Amino acid sequence: MEFIGIKSSFFHIYENRCKGGIVLGREDKVLTILPNEIRERLVKLLSEEAKLQEIRLRSGRPLAVIYDNREYFIDENGNATTNPRQGFVVRHKWIRETMEYVSNYSLYAYEEEMRQGYITIEGGHRVGLAGKIVMEGEQVTQMKHISFMNIRLSHEMIGCGRQLCRYIVEKQRVYNTLLISPPRSGKTTMLRDLVRIFSNGEGLEQGYTVGVVDERSEIAACYMGVPQNDVGVRTDVLDCCPKSQGMTMLLRSMAPQIIAVDEIGGSRDLEALKSAMNCGCSIFATVHGENMEEIRTKPILRSFVEMHLFQRYVVLSAGAKLGQVQHIYDDMGNCIYWGKQETA
């Protein structure tokens, strides 16, 4: 019988991996959207939700979680195991019930979000959905028979961005900064904390007006228009807005000093970024990638580098520790920070 001995670790409290930072969680909001049968089996994990990243509900399949970047199945007694046969099977009616709670008993009010494939709930957690898609021509019009859900827990790591401040601001000039990392390595988390730090002026000479284009509601995680994450006192958020249009709108109306966007890569993004930079705005952005070399091989991203659009490239390391800075490069490609240790 495969049983992973992590049960004892569920009752310890873990600090943030970044020095001096604090992990915040909102497990109570996640509890409210789960049916009793599933909640009972996850209550242990949710008390240690700092490492709990995802909860996966699949109709007729065992209940699964991603905990500390590893996948486990939850058995009848709420214990974690790697053997799927021992997993507690999720019934379809519980998925339907979860949908009721997620949508506040009003699925009709979330049609637009469902077309995107997810709903953001209070607490900033994102519930990904999968089921039968109904198309009209080439447009997704609705999703029916939802049988798969992925609840991604929102985690803030307050303070994880402090280590970058000395490299991306000089006197009052904020450098255009690109965060590079593979998936699930903390680039959005880092971006969020940078937004917060600069908006509040924490440890800086001044606070900055920050505009966030939150296309997938991951940075601020707005619920009913209110950011569920702490993004600072001087931050304005455009929620669920395409990046290129959002940047233009922010420039026209909100006079941001810094614009933050997540996961750039398209040609429209490039045009919008150039436009924003020409207006004197600093940019914080993230992109998928393992390292600088990979960025240079991708056509659109390569042009970013060649045009010296960004003055700082921050490469985050893939691995167990979120938000760990591996390298920082300047616009000429010189490495100005090299290390695996966090700095003060």
Partner 1 sequence: MGILRFLAAIMLAAACALYGQERIMVMKRRMVEQELWQQKLLLLKGEIQYGHTSLPELFSYLGKTQEYRVDQFFLSLSEHLAKEQLPFYTIWKQEVEELVKYLDISIEPLVLVGQQLGSVNRQTELKNLELYMQQYERELTQKRECFREQKKVVRAVSISFGLALMLLVI
Using CB under 8 A, list all residues that contact partner 1: 32, 35-36, 96-97, 99-101, 103-109, 111, 142, 144
Question: Closer to partner 1 at the Cβ: 136 or 205?
Answer: 136
Give the single-character DSSP code of 16: -
Question: Closer to partner 1 at the Cβ: 35 or 289?
Answer: 35
Question: Closer to partner 1 at the Cβ: 112 or 138?
Answer: 112
Question: Closer to partner 1 at the Cβ: 84 or 117?
Answer: 117
Question: Closer to partner 1 at the Cβ: 104 or 343?
Answer: 104
Q: How far is the CB of 111 from partner 1 (least distance, A)?
A: 6
Question: Closer to partner 1 at the Cβ: 109 or 307?
Answer: 109
Query: What sections of 254-298 are H helices per DSSP?
Result: 267-278, 292-297
**What is the rounded CA–CA span in Å between residue 152 and residue 125?**
6
* Structure-block tokens of residue 166: 């000395």
**What is the rounded CA–CA span in Å between residue 241 and residue 249?**
10
The sign of the CA dihedral 306, 310, 311, 314 is negative
**What is the rounded CA–CA span in Å between residue 333 and residue 291?**
12
Please list, in sequence order, all residues whose beta carbon lies within 8 angstroms of the beta carbon of residue 280, skipping any fewer than 6 positions away.
Answer: none
Q: How far is the CB of 129 from partner 1 (least distance, A)?
A: 13
Question: Closer to partner 1 at the Cβ: 97 or 342?
Answer: 97
Q: How far is the CB of 143 from partner 1 (least distance, A)?
A: 9
The answer to whether 295 touches 162, Cβ cutoff 8 Å, is no
Give residue for tokens 């000093």.
Answer: 257
Question: Closer to partner 1 at the Cβ: 99 or 153?
Answer: 99
Give residue for tokens 């195991």.
Answer: 81
User: At 104, is the secondary structure helix, strand, or coil?
Assistant: coil
Burial of residue 170 (CB within 10 Å: 0-12, 13-18, 19+) is exposed
Burial of residue 12 (CB within 10 Å: 0-12, 13-18, 19+) is exposed
Q: How far is the CB of 109 from partner 1 (least distance, A)?
A: 4
Q: How far is the CB of 107 from partner 1 (least distance, A)?
A: 5
Q: How far is the CB of 101 from partner 1 (least distance, A)?
A: 7
Q: How far is the CB of 142 from partner 1 (least distance, A)?
A: 5
Question: Closer to partner 1 at the Cβ: 10 or 101?
Answer: 101
Residue 280 Ramachandran class (φ > 0 left, ψ -120 to 50 alpha, else beta)? left
Hey, what amino acid is at 252? R
Q: How far is the CB of 36 from partner 1 (least distance, A)?
A: 7
* Structure-block tokens of residue 28: 């109570």
Query: What sections of 73-110 are H helices per DSSP?
Result: 92-102
**What is the rounded CA–CA span in Å between residue 98 and residue 33?**
6
Q: How far is the CB of 123 from partner 1 (least distance, A)?
A: 16
Least Cα distance to 176 among 252, 279, 254, 246 occurs for 279
